[in-house]
Structure 1
């Protein structure tokens, strides 16, 4: 837990410094990015004497949410996807075949193709399960004294969900360390999403951005696989499917050769 806190503090300091830099050079009504737009809104509300949650105190928090939840976890999942496609070329071939059959070679995949790409979607779900880029989810605070089974959780307790344990529970997922997209398909090859797959957590405090994250993952994954074959470069180090934990659970650095598909 101390290592997690240390890394969280590092990210927090990084974001606070970026916000400070933006405040120093900010020009009202001439935004360069999200932070400048937020700063514009703060100044506008101050001119109108509006007491708002859009303020300098909350700006680093909002930036942090976008950085960690909106980009880092998605990019980490995509890195795992590339790695697993290299490690399991037969699965990559099946994704290629399905994309070519449904989408063809004359256009890129669209969200409307999703229902016709069950194996591709199952592969992406299996990446999310086995990689579990947010293995301990997001810590939450208990709002009131709560009893869960034989346990009493006092109000104010920090609750950390172990999503990794759920995604690797052999009672839920036979051979959980095996990369097997078929576990998300029924006997007819129809996609079967499972309630036990919870990469965005569950309940009222689940990830607010899960819907856009799902769309991003599908679009990036299918576009990359439609256009490229991922191969391990000759003489590069052996592939490792053992991850490391930074802000999220990431694959170890690896080399990949992007081979354009005809």
Structure 2
């Protein structure tokens, strides 16, 4: 009798669970139906996980399909809708004309897990963001951003980079570490007051885990974490994200400790020195957001942003230049005609190198390293093209659609520097070139990135010929979509232009 009762109870519980699950799914489907009516069109989301499965299956294919729904469309990150701005005009209307309403940042669980809501890049629009961004811009300018001193640092590093790239001349190698180290050394000189040699194993390891975290955070591992963040309490591949972030932040804390011992209040040497002095200065202000942990995370933000995006753009650039040897040769000839082989380039040379300067911009357009931009969030209820958009709605810029729009580009689907040249062969920048975003959240490091991209690429093309190794597999041009869009692993062969052209 007791056994029969137990079986009955188990059956009842199982039936209740099944019915509860069916009710939950039906309720979610009804919620989706009514939610979709309030937002711009888009692919039909799955219950609970939204449109995430499409992006996991085919990331870039899914990104390219978004604009088919019109100037505004919607994707669903789990149960949360995100509105995609698919045209230049709608982006200007939202991010510039209504900038204060569209300049927030959403709480993204995987980012919140490792930053604790601190720093600059992912802090929401408000007092903290204003204080930290204003201080960062002021301090970066004090230490050379936009001035000749940073240009000189890039040129010095460019010399080391060319030497490193030619170290194994004629032998196939992966250029990722050399490029990442060279780019990182510029922001490191501003934040930490020092650069790191290319054979520094500790720094090479830090660059490796930095790259790994950019990949993991934007990969299915990171997307699943954002859907079910309570898994942070359990083992799994997501724990690598936190482990890597902890190691990077510990590295910065060690730098802070060393800076504290050498700090000269009358002569700050770098960003960390300046931040420590600002903490002391702001101690009496109740609304101050300056404290040591914010310093550590802000330094990490600048370090990450100043390392990965520019080096990734140059890596894509090498692929485009090797795929288009005629462009590479034309750039080299133009550079040599203006600079010769020995004179270092300068930012003032941009006007004298219109084709090369156009090529640098075309690399950025085709690299398209952040296909949906850096995510924004509405800071208050607002309207856009007839839609009522609630406060806290995620907003994304479809750079993929803007960079391939036939209305803006002569050759939208191919790598062609003529996209940035007028009928007289002079450089011009179309309004649709918005690689650094627009409005209040425009990229903090735009000036530095522009300087590095131009000077590094000119320095490399002046002295080196790049080619594919014989019979090497060509990387898939969709790349790998993490927080940024990376090229697949590839190798190159470098040959000195000095040896080749002076014989």
- TM category, shorter: 0.7 to 0.9
Q: Equivalent residues in 2 for 1:187-198 (5 A)?
A: 187-198=423-434
SS in 1 for 2:361: helix
Q: Does the 8 Å CA contact 2:253/2:296 hold for their aligned counterparts?
A: no
Q: How many angstroms apart in 2 are the aligned matches of 1:20 and 1:50? A: 28
Q: 1:143 pairs with 373, 379, 382, which one?
A: 379
1:29 aligns with 2:261: yes
Change (3 A) 1:41 1:89: same
Q: How many angstroms apart in 2 are the aligned matches of 1:191 and 1:18? A: 40
Aligned to 2:250: 20
Aligned to 1:201: 437
SS in 2 for 1:258: strand
Unaligned runs of 5+ in 2: 1-76, 79-216, 227-237, 264-268, 499-503
1:218 aligns with 2:448: no
Cα deviation for residue 174 of structure 1 reads 4.6
Aligned to 1:58: 294
Q: Does the 8 Å CA contact 1:42/1:56 hold for their aligned counterparts?
A: no
Q: Does the 8 Å CA contact 1:15/1:60 hold for their aligned counterparts?
A: no
**CA offsets per residue over residues 26-47 of structure 1, 9 Å max, x none?**
242337x97864774477459x
Q: How many angstroms apart in 2 are the aligned matches of 1:61 and 1:155? A: 27
Unaligned runs of 5+ in 1: none
Change (3 A) 1:11 1:219: farther
Aligned to 1:157: 393
- Alignment length (residue pairs): 260
**CA offsets per residue over residues 33-63 of structure 1, 9 Å max, x none?**
97864774477459x6565322134234313
Cα deviation for residue 160 of structure 1 reads 1.6
Aligned to 1:110: 346
Q: How many angstroms apart in 1 are the aligned matches of 2:427 and 2:241? A: 37
Aligned to 1:171: 407
Q: 1:94 pairs with 330, 336, 344, which one?
A: 330
Change (3 A) 1:222 1:49: same
Q: Does the 8 Å CA contact 2:410/2:418 hold for their aligned counterparts?
A: no
Larger radius of gyration: 2
**CA offsets per residue over residues 145-186 of structure 1, 9 Å max, x none?**
211112222122221211112112233335422111112111
Q: How many angstroms apart in 2 are the aligned matches of 1:222 and 1:239? A: 24
Question: Scaled by the length of structure 1, what TM-score is found?
Answer: 0.87
Q: How many angstroms apart in 2 are the aligned matches of 1:23 and 1:214? A: 29
**CA offsets per residue over residues 95-150 of structure 1, 9 Å max, x none?**
00110111112312111111111100111111111111111211122122211112
Q: 1:81 pairs with 309, 317, 334, which one?
A: 317
Aligned to 1:181: 417
Q: How many angstroms apart in 1 are the aligned matches of 2:428 and 2:487? A: 27
Cα deviation for residue 19 of structure 1 reads 2.1
Q: 2:364 pairs with 114, 118, 128, which one?
A: 128
